[in-house]
Amino acid sequence: MASILVIDDDSSICESLDLYLSEEGYRVRVALTGTDGLNLFVEEPAEVVILDVRLPDVDGFSILEDLQEEDENVKVIMITAYHDMETTITAMKLGAFDYIHKPINIDELEIAIKKALKTSEMEKKIDDFMTDPDRAFKTGDIIGNGPRMREIFKTIGVVAQSRTTVLIQGESGTGKELIAKVIHTNTSPDEPYIAVNCSAIVETLLESELFGHEKGSFTGAIARKQGKFELARKGTVFLDEISEMSLNLQAKLLRVLQEREVERVGGKDRVPVHARVIAATNKNMRDLVKEGTFRDDLFYRLNIVSITIPPLRERPEDMAPLVDYLLTKINLELHKRIGGVSEDVMEMFLQYNWPGNIRELENLLVRAAVVAKGQILGKNDFPDLLAEKGNGPASVADEGKDESGRFLTLEELEERHIRRVVMETTLNKGEICQMLGIARPTFERKLEKYGISFERE
Q: Which domains does the chain have, with CATH numbers?
A: 3-125 (3.40.50.2300), 147-310 (3.40.50.300), 314-450 (1.10.8.60)
User: What is the pTM assigned to this prediction?
Assistant: 0.57
Query: How would residue 128 be classed by pLDDT, with cut points 50, 70 and 90?
Result: low
Q: Check residues 378 and 85 and name the one with the higher pLDDT.
A: 378
Whether the CB-CB separation of 380 and 348 falls below 8 Å is answered with no
Q: Give Dmax over CA atoms of the chain in angstroms.
A: 85
Whether the CB-CB separation of 212 and 226 falls below 8 Å is answered with yes
Q: Before 393, cis peptide (omega within 30)?
A: no
Q: Which regions of 232-390 does DSSP assign to beta strands (E)?
A: 236-240, 261-263, 270-272, 276-281, 305-308, 340-341, 376-377
Kindly report, residue by residue over 109-125, the tens digit of the pLDDT.
998 898 888 777 766 65
The pLDDT, as a whole number, for residue 383 is 82
For residues 319 and 353, give the distance between their C-alpha atoms in angstroms, rounded to a whole number.
12
Backbone angles phi, psi at 135, to 5 degrees: -70, 155
Average pLDDT, the chain: 84
Whether the CB-CB separation of 38 and 66 falls below 8 Å is answered with yes
Q: Check residues 415 and 401 and name the one with the higher pLDDT.
A: 415
Q: Check residues 45 and 454 and name the one with the higher pLDDT.
A: 45
Query: Taking Cα atoms as reference points, which of 251, 240, 252 lies closest to residue 208?
Result: 252
Kindly report, residue by residue over 53-70, the tens digit of the pLDDT.
889 999 889 999 999 899
Q: What angle do CA 263, 266, 271 make, to 5 degrees?
A: 20
Helix (H, G, I), strand (E, B) or coil at 241: coil
User: Of all residues in the chain, what percent are helix, strand and coil, respectively (each to 5)?
Assistant: 50, 15, 35
Query: How would residue 396 be classed by pLDDT, with cut points 50, 70 and 90?
Result: very low
Asked if pLDDT for residue 40 goes beyond 90, the answer is yes
Query: How would residue 365 be classed by pLDDT, with cut points 50, 70 and 90?
Result: very high
What is the mean predicted confidence (pLDDT) over 44-56?
92
Query: What is the sign, positive or negative, of the torsion defined by CA atoms of 97, 98, 103, 108?
Result: negative
Q: Check residues 154 and 28 and name the one with the higher pLDDT.
A: 28
Whether the CB-CB separation of 271 and 262 falls below 8 Å is answered with yes
For residues 123 and 112, give the distance between their C-alpha atoms in angstroms, rounded to a whole number.
16
Kindly report, residue by residue over 184-217, the tens digit of the pLDDT.
988 888 999 999 998 888 877 888 889 887 886 7
Query: How would residue 50 be classed by pLDDT, with cut points 50, 70 and 90?
Result: very high
For residues 160 and 120, give the distance between their C-alpha atoms in angstroms, rounded to a whole number.
12
Whether the CB-CB separation of 217 and 267 falls below 8 Å is answered with yes
For residues 237 and 210, give the distance between their C-alpha atoms in angstroms, rounded to a whole number.
9
For residues 163 and 233, give the distance between their C-alpha atoms in angstroms, rounded to a whole number.
13
Kindly report, residue by residue over 218-251, the tens digit of the pLDDT.
776 778 788 899 899 999 999 999 999 999 999 9
Query: Taking Cα atoms as reference points, which of 427, 453, 456 lies closest to residue 196?
Result: 456
Asked if pLDDT for residue 133 goes beyond 60, the answer is no
Q: Check residues 439 and 163 and name the one with the higher pLDDT.
A: 163
Percent of the chain whose pLDDT exceeds 90: 39
Helix (H, G, I), strand (E, B) or coil at 98: strand
For residues 379 and 103, give the distance between their C-alpha atoms in angstroms, rounded to a whole number.
68
For residues 400 and 413, give the distance between their C-alpha atoms in angstroms, rounded to a whole number.
7
Asked if pLDDT for residue 336 goes beyond 70, the answer is yes
Asked if pLDDT for residue 322 goes beyond 60, the answer is yes
For residues 344 and 340, give the distance between their C-alpha atoms in angstroms, rounded to a whole number.
12
The pLDDT, as a whole number, for residue 388 is 40
Encode 217-231: b = buried (16+ Cβ within 10 Å), e = exposed. Answer: beeebeeebebbbbe
Helix (H, G, I), strand (E, B) or coil at 253: helix
Asked if pLDDT for residue 430 goes beyond 90, the answer is no
Asked if pLDDT for residue 33 goes beyond 90, the answer is yes
The residues, ordered by sequence, that sit 6+ positions from 87 with a Cβ below 8 Å of its Cβ are 53, 80
Q: Check residues 106 and 269 and name the one with the higher pLDDT.
A: 106
What residues pair up with 79 in beta bridges, in sequence order? 52, 100
